[in-house]
Structure 1
Amino acid sequence: MLSAWSDSVREGNGITILLLFIVAFSLIQGWTRGASRSAGKLAFFLGDALLRLISIGISVPFTLWLSPKASAWLESLGSQIPDRELKLWEQIYYTFVKSMADFALLRFAVLFMISYCLIVFILRLLVSLTIGGSLGLFGLKKDKPSTIASRLAGAGIGAVMGVARGIVVIAILFIWVSLYPDHSFSRYVESSPVYQDGAQAVMEPLSGSLVRDKLPVFTQSVQEELNGIMQQKYEVIDHSIPEGIEQTAAHVVKGTATDEEKARKLYDWVGTRVSYDYDKVKAYEEQRIWHEQTPQDTYDTRSGVCIDYARLYSMMARSQDMKVRVVTGRGYNGQGGYGPHAWNEVYLSEKQQWIPLDPTWAQSGNWFNPPRFNETHIKEQVF
């Protein structure tokens, strides 16, 4: 084992060097402090870890109890969006409130962190007012070590703390490797024998299948919620539907009987009435100047880029009580590659399914739910 570690150090493996440095640094700290101060630091380390575990144990059930109650309260706040153009701080506020109300993982995470911090503070205060001083948990005496025996004992305690700190680092790396097993950094981490030994001896027996099997599923759920949060952003920003846009949408879909007919009529209207703004793209690509515009701007000027087409389509569809999304990702550029792009997905209630459509490309062909749509559109975010 030691020979593999030394070989890894000679080869310059950064993970091995970092983990061994943590242990060596802690050992030197222990030697400098001596036995009494090192023991105090170790007691503080263990006591603080115990306090945090207790706080987590209290915070989890408390948050589970509080979350549904908070959801109902936040839902009432989120339903009070003013029917006018919102200021920036109002957009941020209502996006956060609606996201907290609608997404359980986000709500749990925020409430958990708030309750956890409060409980840690309360417990630390109680300990400091009762037994903290006598145990030296919050006020350590700075006695200088005077004997070799004290320094040696301190070095041993420091080494123990170094190993504990190293295990924390290994745990973080273990989670990364479990989430991204094929990433180049993950392979680099796994090339460290120190990491391998630590993961096999500590992390795998403790975590079992939890990290490797459950964490990726949990991460996928988090990603889905993040996509939903971004969707809330545009729902809040474009919440107020101008009368002119609503009237135009109603006129366009007049006489239709199904969601598919409505969606197609709106697709044709946006795709043929709005012209692509090449100057806006050029200004961004050459000067990094982005001209943000609202759906009203796009409607008035009849000009925009893909995100503007998609936002205007979304607003017109919502004005007719349709479920619609703005999707961003990569679109085929006709030259063998893909570039940034935006389009829509609309829900057809009669078929109970979401279908894709691309009003920006409407003048180049039929991009209303065509076959093999996903071969030219790579979805990254759904708004």
Structure 2
Amino acid sequence: MNDWVQLFKQPEPVAIIVMLLLLVSLMQGLRRGASGSARRLFFFVWEGVAVVLCLLLASQLASRLSPAFADLLVRRVSVPLRELNGAEQAWFTLLTSLRDFAPLRYGVLFLLGYLLLRALAALAEPLLERLVEGMLTGGRREGREDAPGRRSASRFAGALIGAVHGAGRSFVFVALLFVYVTLMPGGWYADKIAESPLYSEAASWLEPVAGDVLEGQGPVLAKTVQAQFKQILQRKYEIIDYAVPAEIEEAALYVTKDARTKEEKARSLYDWLGSRIAYDWDKANNYVERGVWKEQTPAETFETRTGVCIDVARLYAVMARSAGLEVRVVTGMGADGRGGYGPHAWNEVQIGEGAENWIPLDATWASSGDWFNPPEFDKTHIREA
């Protein structure tokens, strides 16, 4: 007990906020009296229980609905084979991302489920409030007609209940700080929070319960969200380039006319682009040295026969789709030949059934060697997602 008293004697922000929470709750309890304070404490606990229950139910609901929702999107979502405006590009990027990216789909369903369940819980609160009111007062409200002694006793009891309420509020506050410091140790003011004696004492209680989970799963979750977000941004190239210009489609069909398998088609397109698209060093240098980026479409790359890695990858993807192949643009880091890495883009093509039958290729690097599914491709290419 003396340790806790000593903690509050030290003027530091966490202790000051906790003291204010306790003081405000105590004063509120003194003003409301026993029944009013008990009512507020009950709904404080109810709010916490409702949040936990809604989170658990929303998680189960999202897990069960996610596969069915994915199947529905697979059957119903079809990107139009025409040039899309900005709103249509955003809409189909969202739909196809929900269809293909399980973490995003789960997150959206989880959020919607939680909001729905919280709304249902809110509808039940008025009925619950009347029930609690009747249980606490027995149908009689505290009023001015009560005897002074009874009012004093009620206010004293209310102050005690308010103090308990304040302790609960303080615990939630410190628990939120614990989550913040654990997940973001380098975040704003995290070092000052960690130095607080009061926080350190409370964290010693929370660490065995939640510390390992947060430290183990938190960074993994953050990286997963970051990777998923990059995948969604990458998806824009697929949506923007979904409509294939006639001349590119004709060229793709001509290049692959003698190919018999998907792998042969992919190889023919790789050889064609690798030998006909020159690297645009002026565009690359403008971006590296001046920060000037020129966006260009696959049609422009096809017409000018020049482009940087992302331009070549986008043109390859458009031509591969024209030839009936499943293909994707991959962004990440590529080896620069000097022991380092720089931003890069390449492709992956599906040559058979199943996830293991996607192969990588890099038509931009074709002039420097054979980069069509070489054995050590991953040693020179690091994908972002």
> What's the counterpart of residue 369 of structure 1?
373
Q: Give, in angstroms, the shift of residue 90 of structure 1.
A: 0.6
1:101 aligns with 2:99: yes
> What's the counterpart of residue 30 of structure 2?
35
Q: In the TM superposition, what are the counterparts of 1:1-383 in structure 2 within 5 Å? A: 2=3, 19-30=14-25, 32-37=27-32, 39=37, 42-79=41-78, 81-128=79-126, 131=129, 135=133, 153=160, 154=162, 157-174=165-182, 176=183, 194-195=198-199, 197-205=201-209, 207=210, 211=214, 225-226=228-229, 228-230=231-233, 232-349=235-352, 353-381=357-385
> What's the counterpart of residue 149 of structure 2?
none
Q: Give, in angstroms, the shift of residue 49 of structure 1.
A: 1.6
Q: Give, in angstroms, the shift of residue 170 of structure 1.
A: 1.3
Separation of aligned partners in 1, 2:13 and 2:261? 63
Q: Superposition RMSD on alpha carbons, in Å?
A: 4.0
Q: Give, in angstroms, the shift of residue 317 of structure 1.
A: 1.8
The 3 A distance-change label for structure 1 pair 31 and 345 is same
User: Which stretch shows the higher mean deviation, 357-366 or 306-315?
Assistant: 357-366
Q: Give, in angstroms, the shift of residue 167 of structure 1.
A: 1.5
List runs of 5+ in structure 1 lacking aligned partners: 11-16, 178-182
Separation of aligned partners in 2, 1:2 and 1:121? 43
Separation of aligned partners in 2, 1:347 and 1:110? 28
- What amino acid maps onto 1:30 in structure 2? S
- What amino acid maps onto 2:105 in structure 1? R
Separation of aligned partners in 1, 2:205 and 2:232? 39
- What amino acid maps onto 2:382 in structure 1? I
The 3 A distance-change label for structure 1 pair 93 and 319 is same
Aligned residue-pair number: 357
The 3 A distance-change label for structure 1 pair 100 and 355 is closer
> What's the counterpart of residue 13 of structure 1?
none
- Which is higher, the Rg of structure 1 or of structure 2? 2
SS in 1 for 2:384: strand
- What amino acid maps onto 1:161 in structure 2? R
- What amino acid maps onto 2:246 in structure 1? E
- What amino acid maps onto 2:176 in structure 1? V
- What amino acid maps onto 1:59 in structure 2? A
Q: Give, in angstroms, the shift of residue 61 of structure 1.
A: 4.3
Separation of aligned partners in 1, 2:199 and 2:235? 41
User: Which stretch shows the higher mean deviation, 301-310 or 350-359?
Assistant: 350-359
TM-score (norm 1): 0.75
